[in-house]
Amino acid sequence: MNQSIALIALVVADYDAAIAFYVGKLGFVLVEDSYQPEQAKRWVVVRPPGKGSTALLLAKASSPVQEPFVGNQAGGRVFLFLQTDDFWRDHAKMVETGIRFIREPKEAPYGIVAVFEDLYGNLWDLVEFTDGR
């Protein structure tokens, strides 16, 4: 058996603002942005550069039930983990583009890590694993 997680839905308030953040600031690749007329919504997929396969489906909140989850998909915990092959290069670039780090870089037994926020307040780890993971 060979399985993998292809997409993670991330609830956003606005497609274009989310694309501007993930592509413009984080340097993700815009994989697809197409209109789905049968559902009156867009199918927007972004992914980090490189050979990884997991991507984000930017899903605009479409009801009052979904709106409170924008920026709070994990109840205030770190939600997503952006793995890098060069922590200091990517950290410097992210600081330069205005990414807000809420926990400064630290060395841990598994590697180097810092916590940042996306445009809605979801928490992410920027991590370089140095323990062979």
Both 40 and 82 in one domain: the answer is no
- Within-domain flag for 82: yes
Q: Domain containing 53 — which CATH number?
A: 3.10.180.10
Structure tokens at 30: 């815009």
- Domain extent for 39: 1-63
Residue that is last in its domain, among 63, 91, 114: 63
Is 25 contained in some domain?
yes
pLDDT tens digit string along 50-71?
Answer: 887 799 999 999 999 999 999 9
pLDDT band, very low/low/confident/very high, at 4 (cuts 50, 70, 90): confident
Sign for the pseudo-dihedral over CA of 71, 73, 78, 82: negative
Instruction: Please name the amino acid found at residue 110.
Output: Y
Measured at the CA of 9, the angle between CA 5 and CA 11, to 5 degrees, comes to 160
pTM for the whole structure: 0.92
Percent of the chain predicted with pLDDT > 70:
100
pLDDT score for 3: 86
Task: Quote the CA–CA distance of 2 and 125 in Å, as a whole number.
Answer: 27
Q: Answer yes or no: do 52 and 85 share one domain.
A: no
- Strand pairing class (111-117; 7-12): unpaired
pLDDT score, position 23: 97
- Chain position carrying tokens 């489906």: 57
**Strand ordering across the sheet containing 111-117:** 78-83, 123-129, 111-117, 101-108
Number of folded domains in the chain?
A: 2
8-25 tens-digit pLDDT: 999 999 999 999 999 999
Same domain, 57 and 26: yes
Q: Out of 63, 83, 108, pick the residue that ends a domain.
A: 63
Residue 53: predicted pLDDT: 77
